[in-house]
């Protein structure tokens, strides 16, 4: 036996394989962190099919964060004004279950909510669904994936009849044209980008188009960068389709035999001639034509997208219109082609399989479907009708439920909403009103701990065994190779213990996570995400496995799997659906009072709210401070110079940043990174400014755009401090 452990990087959805060795092996000197603690050595796992041994700076430095500022013991307090006191697990769990029992009698199960995360392992997700949706009978489980990929989920379901990205990473090396829209792949999915860039560099004929209001590192590498105005994606997509129609670049056999709804779509297209589209998007007609030409002349087009598409008040429509282009040109179900949504978090994909949003159930099932509910009830040994037919509260509905007093217990795990939710002033005010908040995290302090009554210490990656699924449906085992600090426990074990204490002893009698995963895979039988052929044992013995994978199936071929290779789709008639939307534009468009569009996003080194990366010196040096990107055309009239402090004001809040004046952002748009919460800087929260208006289908908030104005800090006099606007565009919070 070697001392090394094969596992998965616990950061992004690329899902790179890691090979981890303990500190000081075979007489080597031990690497130590700045405080003298030994550091585990991390390398890329060459045998991993998704990453071939590559890693980025986040994966390479992960082990430096594992022992810093950990939450080690359960803590409690009676009110938010008091300091926490350390308590036993017994006392903490009793407090939680007593509160739950009381609420079940006084207000019913729907007063209980859990807000989880794509950073759960699949076992954590699954047990949480069984507890909330099965045993308690409320669908009030939602995850931060609501802020992340729920538009991709609803787009796939509406167009194909089921969720599930049809592509795989091998397609990156087989495509003739990569269409990257609303994704800064170079910084956010670096190893996917490495694979694509190598292929692009090697093959002169291969094209890369990037659609992003910012000239990101990704855009720098493209043959064509379309710096569209935020929120004009549907105009662009319809504009490309208009030209493809006009030039006869469509696949009429595929359209006739494999799709429905084409006439309605082509009717919509009439309204998108190049002049109109170029003008709305703020690009040239020539560039629009080049994009259409690359689409039309390429045999295999692969679209990649992430938050610039999903985080939008018309996110589902954007996803569906990307898919329209693939249906119209027959670019699906074949190597090098297809609509490929990139998942953000390491196990956002596993969360989808396990039913980790408030409208879905395990095995790609829907809460609203009576047969689906029945199948799950049966497998869980619960009475018929136990699962509620109503979708539960989404992440944002949990916040408004606290405002109205309908939510009596909020349990937050593996996410930091006091930084990552929209409209933070309102979010924080609602959290302050919460009668009882449980916060289960690996680190302390974090911003959300400020709003908790009970803190539960979670074992994190490396300290518990479970699986994660990456963007290309590859499942990797992440074995435990260190001990959790103090009394920290795996998330699923905590949920299962609460279930047993509430009387569901049989439902939660698992001895280990291997058994949990085995039960979960039974719920995927004959579903698109079938994983009955996957188990901890098989993953341990043979390495990562891509689903679908049926029991007994030979899995040891290296061949990647694509969905829909027979061009039949899981809709009632087997045909994929065209959609026919017009662009509605932004939920909060700029106006004379708030003339700029603020967009928000990520930097290469940092991960979200910095709970890990903020504690790694190398990454802190890479991105020491927050900033705002402003185009010179917008900075000049306000007299804003490089590095000058600027106050950004929206109708809801303000934040202050040093200016970075750059032509790499479209005029009229400004950008701030999302990584700095209250713990890491003063008044630099991107979400102090954003709003919660969401896509009507996916209920995903428009975190990528809100209207703002800039005020140079030097010019602010006492009487001109920030005030929330009286003309709030959206319903304002209840008075506190």
Ligand X SMILES: Nc1nc2c(c(=O)[nH]1)N[C@H]1C(S)=C(S)[C@@H](COP(=O)(O)OP(=O)(O)OC[C@H]3O[C@@H](n4cnc5c(=O)[nH]c(N)nc54)[C@H](O)[C@@H]3O)O[C@H]1N2
Binding stretches for ligand X (CB under 6 A): 12, 117, 119, 144, 147-148, 181-184, 187-189, 211-214, 216, 230-231, 233, 306-308, 311, 344-345, 413-417, 419-420, 440-443, 446, 458, 460-461, 491, 599-602, 604, 606-609, 611, 674, 686-687, 690, 703-704
The C-alpha angle with vertex 506 and arms to 505 and 508, in degrees rounded to 5, equals: 70
Is the bond preceding 548 in cis, omega lying within 30 degrees of 0?
A: yes
Q: Which residue has the tokens 């939450």?
A: 71
Alpha carbon distance 28, 202 (integer Å)? 39
Does the footprint of Mo ion cover residue 227 (CB under 5 A)?
no
Minimum distance of Mo ion from residue 608's CB (angstroms): 8
Give 191 or 382: the residue with its C-beta nearer to ligand X: 191
Give 15 or 543: the residue with its C-beta nearer to ligand X: 15
Does the footprint of Mo ion cover residue 457 (CB under 5 A)?
no
Give 305 or 495: the residue with its C-beta nearer to ligand SF4: 305
Minimum distance of ligand SF4 from residue 152's CB (angstroms): 18
Minimum distance of ligand X from residue 357's CB (angstroms): 13
Q: Where are the beta strands (DSSP E) in 578-716?
A: 596-601, 628-630, 645-649, 654-661, 669-673, 706-712
Does the footprint of ligand SF4 cover residue 12 (CB under 6 A)?
yes
Give 132 or 255: the residue with its C-beta nearer to ligand X: 132
C-alpha pair distances (Å), 717 with each of 493, 561, 712, 714, 721: 54, 62, 11, 8, 7
3-state secondary structure of 161: coil
Does the footprint of ligand SF4 cover residue 59 (CB under 6 A)?
yes
Give 148 or 209: the residue with its C-beta nearer to Mo ion: 148
| 115 binds, options Mo ion, ligand SF4, ligand X, none, Cβ within 5 to 8 A by partner type | none
List the structure tokens of 196: 């694509």
Minimum distance of ligand SF4 from residue 485's CB (angstroms): 22
List the structure tokens of 671: 């950008």
Nearest Cα residue to 7 out of 513, 477, 536: 477
| 274 binds, options ligand SF4, Mo ion, ligand X, none, Cβ within 5 to 8 A by partner type | none
Q: Where are the beta strands (DSSP E) in 254-396?
A: 259-260, 301-305, 338-341, 360-361, 365-366
Does the footprint of ligand SF4 cover residue 11 (CB under 6 A)?
yes
5, 6, 16, 590: residue in contact with ligand SF4 (rule CB under 6 A): 16
Phi, psi (deg, nearest 5) at residue 509: -95, 25
| 458 binds, options ligand SF4, ligand X, Mo ion, none, Cβ within 5 to 8 A by partner type | ligand X
Give 18 or 114: the residue with its C-beta nearer to ligand SF4: 18
Does the footprint of Mo ion cover residue 148 (CB under 5 A)?
yes
| 471 binds, options Mo ion, ligand SF4, ligand X, none, Cβ within 5 to 8 A by partner type | none
C-alpha pair distances (Å), 160 with each of 221, 301, 326, 332: 32, 18, 12, 11
Instruction: Map residues 172-211 to x or -, x wherever contact with ligand SF4 holds by CB under 6 A.
Output: ------------------xx--------------------
Give 124 or 697: the residue with its C-beta nearer to ligand X: 124
Minimum distance of Mo ion from residue 144's CB (angstroms): 7
Nearest Cα residue to 412 out of 677, 116, 129: 116
List the structure tokens of 541: 């013995």
Give 117 or 159: the residue with its C-beta nearer to ligand SF4: 117
Mode of pairing for the β-strands spanning 112-116 and 409-413: parallel
6, 7, 15, 606: residue in contact with ligand SF4 (rule CB under 6 A): 15
Is the bond preceding 445 in cis, omega lying within 30 degrees of 0?
A: yes
Question: Which residues 6+ apart lie within 8 Å of 248 measured at CB?
Answer: none
Stretch of residues binding Mo ion (CB under 5 A), selected from 56-64, 147-155, 160-168, 412-420: 147-155
454-466 burial string, b = 16+ CB within 10 Å, else e?
bbbbbbbbbbbbb
Alpha carbon distance 294, 226 (integer Å)? 13
42, 55, 177, 576: residue in contact with ligand SF4 (rule CB under 6 A): 55
Give 315 or 543: the residue with its C-beta nearer to ligand X: 315
Minimum distance of ligand SF4 from residue 190's CB (angstroms): 5
User: Are 140 and 114 within 8 A, CB to CB?
Assistant: yes
Give 344 or 484: the residue with its C-beta nearer to Mo ion: 344
Mode of pairing for the β-strands spanning 474-478 and 41-44: unpaired
Does the footprint of ligand SF4 cover residue 221 (CB under 6 A)?
no
344, 392, 422, 466: residue in contact with Mo ion (rule CB under 5 A): 344
Does the footprint of ligand SF4 cover residue 226 (CB under 6 A)?
no
User: Are 489 and 458 within 8 A, CB to CB?
Assistant: yes
Three-state SS annotation for 386-418 = CCCCCCCCCHHHHHHHHHHCCCCEEEEECCCHH
| 55 binds, options ligand SF4, Mo ion, ligand X, none, Cβ within 5 to 8 A by partner type | ligand SF4
C-alpha pair distances (Å), 650 with each of 105, 429, 627: 42, 18, 17
7, 9, 412, 493: residue in contact with ligand SF4 (rule CB under 6 A): 9
Does the footprint of ligand SF4 cover residue 17 (CB under 6 A)?
no
Minimum distance of ligand SF4 from residue 42's CB (angstroms): 9
DSSP characters over 10-56: SSSTT--EEEEE-SS-TTPPPPB-TTS-B--EEEE-TT-TTTTT---
Question: Which residues 6+ apart lie within 8 Å of 252 measured at CB?
Answer: none
Give 344 or 590: the residue with its C-beta nearer to ligand SF4: 344
| 119 binds, options Mo ion, ligand X, ligand SF4, none, Cβ within 5 to 8 A by partner type | ligand X
Minimum distance of ligand SF4 from residue 12's CB (angstroms): 3
**N residues, the chain:** 736
Give 16 or 302: the residue with its C-beta nearer to ligand SF4: 16
Give 12 or 360: the residue with its C-beta nearer to ligand SF4: 12
# residues near ligand SF4 by CB under 6 A? 13
Does the footprint of Mo ion cover residue 703 (CB under 5 A)?
no
**For the sheet containing 474-478, what is the strand order?**
466-469, 474-478, 545-546
Give 64 or 142: the residue with its C-beta nearer to ligand SF4: 64
Does the footprint of ligand SF4 cover residue 56 (CB under 6 A)?
yes
Chain contacts with Mo ion (rule: CB under 5 A): 148, 344
Chain contacts with ligand SF4 (rule: CB under 6 A): 9, 11-12, 14-16, 51, 55-56, 58-59, 190-191
């Amino acid at each position: 036996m070697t001392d090394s452990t094969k596992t998965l990087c616990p950061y992004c959805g690329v899902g790179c394989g890691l090979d981890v060795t303990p500190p000081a092996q075979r007489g080597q000197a031990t690497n130590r962190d700045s405080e003298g603690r030994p550091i585990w050595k991390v390398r890329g796992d060459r045998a991993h099919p998704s990453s071939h041994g590559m890693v980025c700076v986040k994966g390479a430095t992960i082990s430096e964060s594992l022992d810093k500022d950990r939450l080690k013991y359960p803590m409690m307090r009676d009110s938010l004004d008091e300091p926490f006191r350390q308590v036993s697990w017994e006392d903490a769990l009793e407090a939680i279950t007593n509160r739950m029992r009381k609420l079940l009698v006084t207000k019913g199960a729907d007063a209980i909510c859990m807000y989880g995360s794509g950073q759960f392992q699949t076992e954590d997700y699954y047990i949480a669904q069984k507890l909330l949706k099965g045993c308690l009978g409320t669908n009030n489980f939602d995850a931060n994936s609501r802020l992340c990929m729920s538009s991709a989920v609803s787009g796939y379901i509406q167009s194909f009849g089921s969720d599930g990205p049809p592509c795989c990473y091998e397609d990156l090396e087989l495509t003739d044209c990569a269409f990257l829209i609303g994704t800064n792949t170079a910084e956010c999915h670096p190893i996917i980008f490495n694979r694509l860039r190598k292929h692009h560099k090697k093959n002169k004929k291969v094209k890369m188009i990037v659609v992003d209001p910012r000239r990101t590192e990704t855009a720098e590498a493209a043959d064509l960068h379309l710096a569209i105005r935020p929120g004009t994606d549907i105009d662009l997509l319809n504009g490309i389709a208009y030209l493809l129609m006009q030039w006869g670049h469509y696949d009429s056999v595929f359209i006739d035999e494999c799709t429905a709804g084409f006439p309605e779509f082509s009717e919509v297209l009439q309204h998108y001639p190049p002049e109109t589209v170029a003008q709305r998007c703020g690009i040239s007609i020539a560039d629009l034509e080049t994009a259409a030409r690359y689409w039309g002349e390429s045999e295999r087009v692969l679209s990649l997208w992430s938050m610039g598409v999903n985080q939008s008040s018309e996110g589902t429509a954007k996803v569906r219109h990307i898919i329209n282009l693939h249906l119209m040109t027959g670019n699906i179900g074949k190597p090098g082609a297809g609509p490929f949504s990139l998942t953000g978090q390491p196990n956002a994909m596993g969360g989808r399989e396990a039913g980790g949003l408030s409208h879905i159930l395990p095995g790609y099932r829907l809460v609203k479907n009576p047969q689906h509910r029945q199948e799950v009830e049966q497998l869980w040994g619960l009475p018929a009708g136990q699962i509620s037919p109503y979708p539960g509260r989404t992440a944002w509905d949990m916040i408004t439920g606290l405002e109205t007093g309908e939510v009596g217990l909020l349990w937050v795990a593996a996410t930091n909403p006091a930084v990552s939710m929209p409209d933070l002033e309102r979010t924080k005010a609602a959290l302050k009103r919460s009668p009882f908040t449980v916060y289960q995290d690996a680190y302390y302090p974090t911003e959300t701990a400020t709003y908790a009554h009970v803190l539960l210490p979670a074992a994190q990656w490396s300290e518990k065994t479970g699986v994660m699924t990456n963007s290309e449906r590859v499942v990797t085992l992440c074995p435990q190779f260190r001990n959790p600090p103090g009394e920290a426990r795996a998330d699923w074990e905590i949920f299962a213990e609460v279930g047993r204490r509430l009387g569901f002893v049989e439902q939660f009698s698992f001895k280990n996570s291997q058994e949990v995963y085995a039960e979960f895979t039974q719920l995927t039988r004959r579903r698109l995400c079938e994983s009955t052929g996957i188990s901890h044992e098989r993953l341990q013995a043979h390495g990562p496995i891509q689903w679908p994978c049926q029991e007994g199936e030979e899995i040891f071929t290296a061949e990647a799997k694509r969905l829909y290779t027979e061009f039949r789709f899981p809709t009632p008639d087997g045909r994929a659906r065209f959609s026919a939307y017009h662009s509605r534009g932004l939920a909060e468009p700029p106006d004379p009072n708030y003339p700029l569009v603020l967009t928000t996003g990520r930097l290469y080194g940092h991960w979200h709210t910095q709970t890990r990366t903020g504690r790694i010196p190398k990454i802190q040096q890479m991105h020491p401070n927050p900033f705002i990107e402003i185009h010179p055309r917008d900075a000049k009239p306000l007299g804003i110079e490089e590095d000058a402090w600027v106050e950004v004001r929206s109708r809801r809040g303000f934040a202050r940043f040093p200016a970075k004046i750059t032509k790499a952002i479209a005029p009229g748009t400004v950008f701030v990174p999302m990584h700095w919460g209250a713990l890491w800087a003063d008044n630099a929260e991107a979400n102090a400014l954003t709003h919660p208006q969401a896509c009507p289908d996916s209920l995903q908030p428009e975190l990528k755009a809100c209207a703002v104005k800039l005020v140079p800090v030097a010019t602010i006099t006492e009487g001109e401090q920030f005030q929330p606007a009286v003309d709030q565009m959206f319903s304002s919070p209840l008075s506190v």
